[in-house]
Amino acid sequence: MQALSDDTFRRVSEIMYEAIGLSFSQSKKPLISSRLASRIHKIGLPSFEAYVDLLEDHNQAAEFQMAVDLLTTNETYFFREPKHYELLEQDLLRRKDRGPLAVWSAASSFGDEAYSTAMLLSDMQRKGQLGPDWSILGTDISHRVLLSAAEGIYPQDRLRHVPQEQMHRYCLQGEGPATGQVMMQESLRAHVRFGQLNLTKSFEGLGPFDVIFLRNVLIYFDTPTKIAVVDRVLATLRPGGLFFMGTAEGRVPCKTRLEALIPGAYRKAA
């Protein structure tokens, strides 16, 4: 198979940017080439050009979704960036109102973030620190990762930062062929739901939320798209609500007024 040409690389970039806002600089060309090559070989196409023709066919939505999965990174694990969960717990403890609480994991990937948050909130409910009316919405662009998230089954290593007490309380240990895997308990999964969402498109009617996680997804967008996405997401956050980004993502790109709390954590101005 011939190498990925500059013209075909531009076609891939334009398709992904127009459809879901993914932005690829020229430096990403080797990455795109390596990730698509194995897929092209597997489905028996002769070239990158033929594969891009397939992606432009609106009747090939499943293959387009496969390409999205290949070109985005979904590495994650439970209780990633623990300082964020500590801040969330402290903030909720200071709340006088124990009424409904709505959390949005806006780039939920395989659901590690959503279920980590659910473990924290469930623990607080058990201690009488939080009412029973809490819910978590996890959304992602990838249908494949959402199907996995809804199943709630994970390699045990992904829960390496989960205390044993929580493991026993919220996880079922796999046996036989499933040894080394864990499943989230139904009591935990009942508070969590997942749905597909493109953050670069309008999503009117969503929210309002008390807490939003938008971590480690903005790296895929150019600056104008980042600003539009963050402001659109923050429009669904209640005044005074908490907003979390990845600590390595730098300054939050938005026009909405925020108060910085700790690295990657903000409060929306009242």
User: In this predicted model, what pLDDT tens digit does every residue of 31-85 receive, in sequence order?
Assistant: 999 999 999 999 999 999 999 999 998 888 778 878 887 887 666 899 999 999 9
* Pairwise CA distance, residues 72 & 21, whole Å: 12
Q: Measured at the alpha carbon of residue 186, what is the angle toward residues 124 and 191, in degrees to the nearest 5?
A: 50
In this prediction, residue 227 carries a pLDDT of 94
Half-sphere exposure of 42 (CA within 13 A, CB side): 8
The secondary element (H helix, E strand) that includes residue 38 is: helix 29-42
In this prediction, residue 74 carries a pLDDT of 61
SS3 198: coil
pTM, full prediction: 0.83
Please tell me the CATH code under which domain 6-71 is placed. 1.10.155.10
Q: Would you give the DSSP letter of residue 201?
A: S
38 or 114: whose pLDDT is higher? 114
In this prediction, residue 127 carries a pLDDT of 95
Only one residue has tokens 């194995």, namely: 38
Burial of 8: CB neighbours in 10 Å, binned 0-12, 13-18, 19+: buried
In this prediction, residue 105 carries a pLDDT of 98
**Domain 82-268 falls in which CATH fold?**
Rossmann fold (3.40.50)
In this prediction, residue 168 carries a pLDDT of 95
Closest CA to 137 of 112, 104, 160: 104
Burial of 94: CB neighbours in 10 Å, binned 0-12, 13-18, 19+: exposed
Cβ-based neighbour number of residue 224 at 10 Å: 11
105 or 62: whose pLDDT is higher? 105
| pLDDT tens digits, 131-187 | 999 999 999 988 878 988 999 999 898 899 999 999 999 999 998 888 888 999 999
| pLDDT tens digits, 229-264 | 999 999 999 999 999 999 988 888 899 999 999 999
Any idea where the domains of the chain sit in the sequence?
6-71, 82-268
SS3 206: coil
Closest CA to 237 of 259, 214, 207: 207
| Same fold flag, 6-71 and 82-268 | no
In this prediction, residue 30 carries a pLDDT of 94
In this prediction, residue 220 carries a pLDDT of 81
Catalytic residues: 35, 140
Pairing of strands 192-196, 134-140: parallel
Please state, rounded to an integer, the average pLDDT across all residues of the chain: 92
For 64, phi and psi rounded to 5 degrees? Answer: -60, -45
